[in-house]
Structure 1
């Protein structure tokens, strides 16, 4: 069976990121189609599987296990299982990026720090 799903059907709100949960579509992968303004992005979290990002436009600052990287349009970034990571849209325009999760369901745990620590 082959299906076609429109991005607009997957948007989490009127303007932003779309979420494709593979299990809902008979697919073995899931992804976020990120569309976020400068400064936007998730808090620090991790996954038990590999996550691969494809930067379509804009720029991102990526923090992963204490390392800071920059990625622009055309970059492909791989985050390994268990790595504590986050990204921020760092350019002057929206960051558009596909965040591919090697799982039919999104599994992520946000990392919290004790008050007064960073």
Structure 2
């Protein structure tokens, strides 16, 4: 069965493309995060997941820490983080950083390291 999920189900506000969705409830082995980080320096602290995470950079430039690597990625690029790899990212600016993050699991499992 196909599912159509309206933005008011996952968005933090009806007019924003920011929020998250655990898709396991809909039969998918994935979770989605729609990040919109308007401020330079914004982003999550160091963490890991027991599954891979895929970052699609839609706007701006971010600095990704993936294990012991520092990766600068900009709009149009994709960063793939392997399972159990510590990672974080921050908005380098100028302007907003917008990403769509795909977790390869039907629910979020996050180990915060910072």
TM-score, normalisation: structure 2: 0.89
Partner Cα separation in structure 2 for residue 109 and residue 44 of structure 1: 9
Partner Cα separation in structure 1 for residue 17 and residue 99 of structure 2: 11
Partner Cα separation in structure 2 for residue 8 and residue 93 of structure 1: 26
Partner Cα separation in structure 1 for residue 7 and residue 92 of structure 2: 24
Q: Given the alignment of the two structures, is residue 91 of structure 1 paired with residue 93 of structure 2, yes or no? A: yes
Unaligned runs of 5+ in 1: 113-118
Q: Say how many residue pairs are matched.
A: 112
Unaligned runs of 5+ in 2: none
Alpha-carbon RMSD across the aligned residues, in angstroms, is 1.6
**Contact 1:8–1:18 (CA<8 Å) still a contact in 2?**
no
Q: CA deviation at 1:13?
A: 5.5
Matches within 5 A, 1:1-80: 1-12=1-12, 17-37=18-38, 38-80=40-82
**Contact 1:7–1:18 (CA<8 Å) still a contact in 2?**
no
- Structure 1 runs, 4 residues or longer, greater than 6 Å off: none
